[in-house]
Structure 1
């Protein structure tokens, strides 16, 4: 059994397709099939079921893939430690991010980091909260930008920033008109019980935050639309289709031609805490430590100055 065979099996399991896996591994498909057949013969176990449209792991395959990922991750950590001992500045860092967070924080962080560490390759991976927690726990990302609370117990985290949660309403909404007429600065969540809500889809951490806020107000939100994109949520709000909770950092500039009206929620004003998470006990390379330090510096300068 060779390390490359472990890599082949993990890639096949991820893509569920020999052609795509071979392309990503930069080998010919027949060679990939031959290596898998050789490994299965050595193990005396079939690792995948071939169907017309896809490749699915058998039970033995699922066990093998899980163990192979642990081994490959341990090898990668060993390489990182050796690189660090050699005072090497080059490296590769896989950073996971929520779409909401990544689109606002990474443009602030990445230019500064690449200026300081030009030889370190950053690989970005965007996904849902639940999926990123799984990927980070299994070592498939070195770091992930997430918001509390985390559901995966094997993760540890460092705080980055705490930001206020705002209420987005259509410009013609009664709450927007009242705010403009009276200068009213905030809204009680209980007042929103009969409102139509636009929420992010399942798997997004901010969706859970929205449900928890509504629960504090004594109701379950009446959901009229769901989207995987916070920009779509805001566009639907601006078009008069409902209201939504949004993080402070994504609120659109007032000059936008299609923007909601943003209102504050009553004291204590709700907030969310953004964190950088990694697997508990995982070796953090100098590149990862430097990335965390750069994030904290850039975020403090940009958002809290």
Structure 2
């Protein structure tokens, strides 16, 4: 088995397509298929279910994917350590970033960082918050940005943002004239909610709705805050979004209301505790902690 085989396998798993993976890795499709087939024969198990449209992982494939992420993470860590030993004035950082957070805070910060450290390359991958945490733990990313709470036995946690979350309702909604709404008042509402892969899904559901004594009625799930707010403006349901997003909702069709108990949306940069952090990675952490988001 060779590392290259695992790189190609991970790319197929990422795209769920041999064709797209071949394009991404700049190899021919037959060569990629041959590499995957050789890996399957050496392991003695089928890793990918091939169809006309997608290439899905088998149960064995998901196990190999998890270990392959760890292996590639160790290779990246080794490269970072060696680069730092030679005091190179360059670097590369692999960062996991949830779409919600990325669109709100990071374009300006990353532009400023690039201007300050043009030789450091930022490789950004967008995942839901829960998957970012898992990927940092498995070594796929050197750094991640995630919604707290985070297990500080496993991760180094560097808080960067904390703000309230608000309830968004249609302007003629029965609660629209209220300045404050308790979670118990939302039992009969239909919600525009986050996908399960987003940390906010579990945090809001488990710590607020379930504690209030009911399961939320989820009408639609989305990963895009602008779509969620537009659905509320069309009177399709209500939603809960961070203050920063509410500040970007410019429509008279929506009323923004305080929630009780208050939900705090706290995000942090995280690294795995037992992983070596490159000079480039530490430079980015120091930079983002000093820059107001």
TM-score range, shorter chain: 0.7 to 0.9
2:97 and 2:144 in contact (8 A); partners too:
yes
Aligned residue number for residue 285 of structure 2: 292
Specify which of 193, 198, 210 is matched with residue 199 of structure 1: 193
2:40 and 2:47 in contact (8 A); partners too:
no
TM-score for both structures, normalised by structure 2: 0.84
1:92 and 1:121 in contact (8 A); partners too:
yes
* Structure 1 residues 1-305: aligned runs within 5 Å: 1-36=1-36, 43=42, 45=44, 48=47, 51-53=50-52, 55=55, 64-150=64-150, 154-179=154-179, 186-211=180-205, 212-253=207-248, 256-257=250-251, 260-266=254-260, 269-298=262-291, 301-302=292-293
CA-CA distance at 1:210 after TM superposition: 2.6
2:49 and 2:58 in contact (8 A); partners too:
no
Instruction: Note closer, same or farther for the CA distance 1:177–1:100 as it changes in structure 2 (3 Å cut).
Output: same
Greater Cα offset, 196-205 or 77-86? 196-205
TM-score for both structures, normalised by structure 1: 0.81
Structure 1 Cα separation of the partners of residues 196 and 49 of structure 2: 31
Larger radius of gyration: 1
Structure 2 Cα separation of the partners of residues 287 and 122 of structure 1: 9
Give the 3-state SS of the residue equivalent to 2:75 in structure 1: helix
Q: Deviations over 1:31-68 (max 9, x none)?
A: 33455566667x47355466443556677666555444
Structure 2 Cα separation of the partners of residues 106 and 115 of structure 1: 14
Q: Deviations over 1:85-108 (max 9, x none)?
A: 222232221211111111111123
Aligned residue number for residue 182 of structure 1: none
Structure 2 Cα separation of the partners of residues 274 and 117 of structure 1: 24
Structure 1 Cα separation of the partners of residues 238 and 114 of structure 2: 39
2:171 and 2:252 in contact (8 A); partners too:
no
CA-CA distance at 1:116 after TM superposition: 1.0
CA-CA distance at 1:265 after TM superposition: 2.1
Instruction: Note closer, same or farther for the CA distance 1:226–1:291 as it changes in structure 2 (3 Å cut).
Output: same
Give the 3-state SS of the residue equivalent to 2:177 in structure 1: helix
Q: CA RMSD in A?
A: 2.9
Structure 2 Cα separation of the partners of residues 114 and 213 of structure 1: 39
Q: Gaps (5+ residues) in structure 2?
A: none
Structure 1 Cα separation of the partners of residues 62 and 111 of structure 2: 39
